[in-house]
Amino acid sequence: MTTSSLQLGTWLSTGSPAIAELAAMCGFDWLLLDLEHGCEPEAALPGQLRALGGRATKPVVRMGAPHPDQIARVLDWGAKGIMVPHVESAETAREIVSAAYYAPRGRRGLSRTVRTHGYGLTFATDAESAPRIMAQIESVEGVKNVEAIAAVDGVDVLFVGPADLRHDLEHHPEWNVADFEACLAAVVNATLKYGKAAGILCRDVETITKFADQGFTEIAVESDLSILRQAYQKILTDGRRSQ
């Protein structure tokens, strides 16, 4: 894989506009603003999106669930993409696409005065600014249906949630399914077959090359909370060692 094809992101869970702005200034390709497990409610999201306004870094918002009203709101507020957890069927994937697009492709409600259209000063059609849709594959059922999900027009990325997928595999041994690495290969193969991108979250910089070599091109590394936790722990460990 060439370096230019790799898109690096990171998870933002604190809900801080300052951290979002700093991460964008550092040059990440995309940032994931987390509404599923993040610390801030949906109402705090506009502030983070404003902090990223006009920058090359793309803000992607992870939904709590595939709710059409929430999908429409975050896109109205200026998100450039959405990530939806626990996508397990082509039907769910099609519903997500429908919620994210205007007619005739979808059923998203249209307001020309929202932030994404410059509060009425501009208007960007779906063709000009199509939202990037990331469907998370986080379960055995999702892996079983991964080709059908990848085939859905409008789904751009199949994004593996490694913690949930490992948990599902470990707690359902009776299903006698493939191991974790085989599941990753199935996701990558489906994206190659249907011209989509494969994504994954990794917990350390050292594993970026491993996942990139496997065919993942949208890789999120660490989260703001994890980075802060590790830095705080290092300060305390090194500081106490010096006494």
Catalytic residue among 37, 67, 171, 172: 37
- Nearest-CA neighbor of 134 among 201, 54, 208, 206? 201
Q: Look up 172 and say whether it is catalytic.
A: no
Active site residues: 37
